Structure 1
């Protein structure tokens, strides 16, 4: 019985390493894959009042957050965390605040909700991104 007590921490450690390796393989297979080289993309911002700004750029950036930094007329504000990356709270001085107005900036890629946030969204040539001011509807508003 003593023999098994001494081996159980080793077995547990090996199992933990195997699980971590499996998770790393899964993330590598399903995570964002940035495209190298020059890409042309467009970015639209649709504000609460329906007005919009349009930007078209050519960039070497691999992720959307880096491409956005290269647009001088586009001011993105937000909070950054290691886990989530950039959480956009204001664009060109127009705020979307969950606490005050129950609204947020929704990120769309080619008209569909983006798979990742701004910091992790890998960009590809020809894609169109939209930041849409989106208000959360109450359940009673939906019916």
Structure 2
């Protein structure tokens, strides 16, 4: 009789959950990378705006243009703060998803260990049966008293 694990469907389910958690982690990490690159873009834009503003301040500058530069710099600083908060939030999401994946992996490994133990028990039982059959054959061939 071939070996069959009673909880094979549960093990398959756990593997599927683990794979979904891996995919979810990959998506969360991709989102984190996008936010990190956006943060770098905003930082570069802010540095460029400040540099341009400093160059323009060396000469007389009309008040409306001055206000426009200051407002633009302040807007980019607010964007930078918002992006930092979003990045921090996304890091927490990635960590939560990573913890979920670790839990799913642990659950799958537990089921695989149970499967291994069940298979070892199956092999022991098969060995016992085989040994009993061999003993029976020896008894039939040589009798109970060793063939006297």
TM range (shorter): under 0.3
TM-score scaled by length of structure 1:
0.28
Structure with bigger helix share is 2
TM-score (norm. length: structure 2): 0.27
Q: Tell which structure's C-alpha radius of gyration is larger.
A: 2
Higher strand proportion: 1
